[in-house]
């Protein structure tokens, strides 16, 4: 029997509330598919920790995570006490960069039983994958403020696109599109307005596309691409985007499928040189935190993505476990119970337990 070491980082707000539901589901698949999970429960990478230690993580955080096969992550951020750029650059964004998790894979799917805010869309109509570049681009720490506090004050922040970083995310996305039935990919761009980096990004896309003659591709400016996510989401299969464009699209896509409370993600180091990190797309949701009403599906689905990734994304008990979790999620979305974001009244715990019960075959 294979045993995986999982670093469990609940973080802040609803991260702490949805995490137990993912662990509950993992306990069931551990039994059912004979997969071992050895948990390392971590209380740092949270704003509570910051309030005590004035840093988000201990200095030896990397040392402590050595030997982790994957990181299961809730959400970080408590802007009432810690500014977001401090909490996020001190934790999540550090993991993405230091562990070279250069792919952020974010599915959007419309499920049966989940009303879409878009008219006349039914289950299956929306089913695409956003591949977001996750280590560079617009998220850079290069820049600064000059002449601060004077009328000459200037702020600059550099976007950085490396050839290596751009080619690898495009290749990953084209590979993914090639393995899917529709074999279609859309490249997000803004080469009309951002006239240095984006035409260059388009050129990299064209070069990579030439290596995938069987994949149909197009490029769309981010503004109209957002509009089409709403008007015609059914036309998308794989969408590849820079860090910031991918961030925006990955809240918009799930919003079109009913709620961001469903959207999972994998922050992947595909070479498996470093641990990958699995987390919901959503944040710590301070507005609903502490009430046990958050939708746990995004967290549970993220855990399912983790198990499949641990198994190498090939047939085996891990793939079976992933599929079983997804089937249980589908069943609960179809028949209920539902949390408030889906118009229901059930608690986080009730939905999590329902999923785990279906998973156990109850």
Which chain residues interact with ligand NAD by CB under 6 A?
14, 75-77, 79, 84, 88, 92, 260-261, 279, 282-288, 294-295, 298, 341
Partner that binds at residue 282, options ligand IPM, ligand NAD, Mn ion, none, CB closer than 5 to 8 Å by kind: ligand NAD
Partner that binds at residue 260, options ligand IPM, Mn ion, ligand NAD, none, CB closer than 5 to 8 Å by kind: ligand NAD
Answer yes or no whether residue 294 interacts with ligand IPM by CB under 6 A: no
Specify the stretch interacting with Mn ion by CB under 5 A; choose among 122-130, 135-143, 243-251, 257-265: 243-251
**Hey, what are 272's tokens?**
């498996």
* Interacting residue with ligand IPM among 26, 29, 70, 88 (CB under 6 A): 88
Q: Is 303 exposed, middle or buried (0-12, 13-18, 19+ CB in 10 A)?
A: buried
* Number of residue whose CB is nearest ligand IPM: 88
The least distance separating ligand IPM from the CB of residue 252, rounded to whole angstroms, comes to 11
Answer yes or no whether residue 138 interacts with ligand IPM by CB under 6 A: no
Distance between start and end Cα atoms, the chain: 25
The least distance separating Mn ion from the CB of residue 247, rounded to whole angstroms, comes to 4
The least distance separating ligand IPM from the CB of residue 264, rounded to whole angstroms, comes to 11
- The contact pattern for ligand IPM, residues 37-76, with x = CB under 6 A and - = no contact, is ----------------------------------------
Instruction: Enumerate binding residues for Mn ion (CB under 5 A).
Output: 247
Instruction: Enumerate binding residues for ligand IPM (CB under 6 A).
Output: 88, 93, 247, 281, 283
């Amino acid at each position: 029997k294979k045993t995986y070491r999982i670093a469990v980082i609940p973080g802040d707000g609803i991260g702490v509330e949805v995490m137990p539901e993912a662990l509950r589901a993992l306990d069931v698949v551990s039994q059912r598919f004979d997969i071992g999970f050895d948990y390392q429960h971590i209380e740092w990478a949270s704003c509570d920790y910051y309030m005590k230690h004035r840093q988000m993580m201990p200095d030896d955080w990397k040392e402590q995570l050595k030997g982790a096969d994957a990181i299961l992550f809730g959400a970080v951020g408590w802007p009432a006490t810690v500014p977001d750029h401090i909490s996020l650059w001190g934790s999540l964004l550090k993991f993405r960069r230091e562990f070279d998790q250069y792919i952020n894979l974010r599915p959007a799917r419309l499920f049966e039983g989940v009303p879409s805010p878009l008219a006349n869309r039914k289950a299956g109509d929306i089913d695409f994958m956003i591949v977001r570049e996750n280590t560079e681009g617009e998220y850079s720490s290069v820049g600064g403020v000059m002449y601060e506090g004077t009328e000459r004050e200037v702020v600059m922040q550099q976007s950085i696109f490396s050839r290596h970083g751009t080619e690898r995310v495009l290749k990953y996305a084209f590979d993914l599109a090639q393995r899917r039935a529709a074999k279609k990919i859309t490249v997000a761009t803004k080469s009309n307005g951002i006239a240095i980096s984006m035409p260059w990004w388009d050129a990299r896309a064209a070069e990579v596309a030439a290596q995938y003659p069987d994949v149909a591709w197009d490029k769309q400016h981010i503004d109209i691409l957002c509009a089409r996510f709403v008007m015609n989401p059914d036309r998308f299969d794989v969408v590849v985007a820079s860090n910031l464009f991918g961030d925006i699209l990955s809240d918009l896509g799930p919003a079109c499928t009913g709620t961001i409370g469903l959207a999972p993600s994998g922050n992947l180091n595909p070479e498996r040189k470093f641990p990958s990190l699995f987390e919901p797309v959503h944040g710590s949701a301070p507005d609903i935190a502490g009430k046990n009403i958050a939708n746990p599906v995004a967290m549970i689905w993220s855990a399912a993505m983790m198990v499949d990734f641990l198994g190498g994304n090939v047939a085996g008990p891990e793939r079976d476990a992933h599929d079983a979790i997804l089937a249980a999620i589908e069943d609960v979305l179809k028949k209920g119970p539902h949390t408030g974001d889906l118009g229901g009244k059930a608690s986080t715990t009730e939905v999590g337990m329902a999923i785990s019960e279906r998973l156990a075959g109850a």
